[in-house]
A and B are shown apart, each in its own frame.
Chain A
Amino acid sequence: MLVLRRRAGEALLIGDNIEIEFLELSGQAVKIGIKAPRHVSILRKELQITKAQNQAAAQTVELAQVTKSLPNIRC
């Protein structure tokens, strides 16, 4: 992973047409602005993780498996 140090107000370019500006730093949080073409999808990583995890959680399970996997549960 490329690691860079930037100050508030500075920016990065990725390729020819994506710009990331570091707008504000406060405590644990950083506020960034992103300029990118419309077709580039920008997702919070935790949203992508949640989608994948929800799809896994929606898989069919045998109720017998529930009993096996979870203590004290009898289906």
Chain B
Amino acid sequence: MTQLQTKYFGTVSCEQSELFEFPLGLPAFEQEKTFAPLDLPGTGPLLFLQSTTRADLCFLCFPILVVDPHYQLSISPEDLNVLDLDSGRQPRIGNEVLVLALLSIQQDHPATANLMAPVVVNPRNRRAVQAIRCDATYSHQHAIPGVAEVQPC
């Protein structure tokens, strides 16, 4: 167990073995190599990716299939090598890799998810990479319907 200073929840404890290791960091945050995935009871699929070295750095994310149930991966061979996965084929979301979409939440704007550059984690070795797609299939600002837009059943 290690104690972690977090952006949103004060000090929390987490197991070293639960941390995600980003050998390359994330673009714009290349020095941040280790993040703790934190979830809260009641926040459903929402996950907080908290840097272990910078308390003020925490990303909010959703499992990508929550945002788009039909999402198709396109991870480069270089990124698959970082994850220590077979670079000859795309892994399966769920049983082979955890795939997260980083969220942008701003006042008076709909929340958006970055489907162009998802965070991909190999659960077997906890290695992670932000896998930037080379194609234009998905948006880096995919709108998530807000409460107001959700139609009642």
Residues of B within 8 A of A55 (CB): 28
B60 partner, pick from A44, A61, A74, beta carbons under 8 A? A61
A60 to B58, CA, bound (A): 8
Q: Which of B48-88 contact A (CB under 8 A)?
A: 56-60
A73 touches B27 (CB 8 A): no
The reply on A54 being an interface residue by CB < 8 A is: yes
**CB-CB < 8 A to A34: which residues of B?**
none
Q: How many positions in chain B have a CB within 8 Å of any CB in the partner chain?
A: 38
- Name A's B-contacting residues (CB within 8 A): 44, 46-47, 49-61, 63, 65-66, 68-75
| Interface SS of chain A | helix
Given known contacts A50-B130, A70-B103, A70-B147, what 19 new A-B pairs fall within 8 Å (CB)?
A44-B132, A46-B132, A46-B133, A53-B104, A53-B141, A54-B102, A55-B28, A57-B59, A57-B102, A57-B104, A58-B28, A59-B104, A61-B60, A65-B105, A66-B60, A66-B105, A69-B111, A70-B46, A70-B144
B44 interface hit (Cβ, 8 Å): yes
Q: Is the interface of B mostly helix, strand, loop or mixed?
A: loop
Inside 8 A of B145's CB, which chain A residues have their CB? 71
Q: A51-B28, A54-B27, A61-B105 are in contact. Are A70 and B146 (CB under 8 A)?
A: yes
Please tell me which one of the listed residues A57, A61, A63, A74 contacts residue B114 in the complex, with CB atoms under 8 A apart: A57
Q: Which of A46, A52, A59, A71 interacts with B106 by CB under 8 Å?
A: A59
Q: Is the CB of A66 within 8 A of B46?
A: yes
